Amino acid sequence: MYRDIGEYISKQSEKAEYGDSFVQKLADSFAANYPDLKGFNRRGLYRMRQFCELYKDNEKVPPLVTQLSWTNHLKIMSACKSMEERIFYMNSSLLISTIEACTQAENETRSDNIKWDIKQRASNGSLGFYRRKCYGYDKDENGDLVINKEQAEIFKLIFDLYLGGKSILGIVKELKERSIKSPTGKENWPKRSIEEMLRNEKYIVVSVVNVGGEEGQIYKLNNSHPAIISKEMFDVVQEEKLKRSNVELTDVVMKRKSNKYSSKHGGNR
């Protein structure tokens, strides 16, 4: 396209009735009719004419010209003084572009292969992520999850406190008063850590893996390690969480409840 425009400008500029004023009129026309189009001002159009006139009589150039971007050509025209230099750098730029394209294709293929392998291992239960350690568990010499008895008792305490009416913040305060350190050894437990424990199916021997992010696929592996609490207790906690939530699900819409849970009053208010 740039070469064709340059050729058109070159021919029109040779005519006496047009001359160099033709370039300015053409630039004004582009600005008026295509205001969002970049690079078609007076300077840009002159560069297109220069581009055409530089290569129009050289038989070696046309195959190279069509394979490089306009940005590359602008750099070559600015940096090179002779035709030999221009052809050398066009060949070099083309080689680099080819290598980059091959590298990108290779990386995409490798990425696809890795994703396929992860999905295969997720589906057959051999993915190491299933055995990722979390609070309440350690790993034995074979890399399998085993219960950490001390942490498991604290985990059960958190569930008991929640079912006893404590809010998340109430549990944080209770654990601090009992001098029970967080998983990272700090005095204050993060709310998020407790919230994650209350909803993590891993404690009822269900390991969950999300392959592919938000739009990915969920895989679950059952009975890969010992449970810390029963499924019945876990389900009761999930029901309690739903009761305390200030979001109400209906058949039509999700909306906020008019009342909120308060641990001081033992329920909604």
Q: Give the predicted TM-score (pTM) of the model.
A: 0.51
CB atoms closer than 10 angstroms to residue 124? 10
Residue-level pLDDT, tens digit, the chain, 269 residues: 666 777 777 777 776 455 567 778 888 887 888 888 777 788 878 778 777 777 676 665 555 566 667 777 777 777 777 777 766 666 665 555 655 665 676 667 777 777 777 788 778 878 777 888 899 999 999 888 999 999 999 999 999 999 999 999 999 999 999 999 999 999 999 999 999 999 999 999 888 877 766 667 888 888 889 999 999 999 999 999 988 876 454 554 445 555 555 555 555 54
Distance CA 77, CA 72 (A): 9
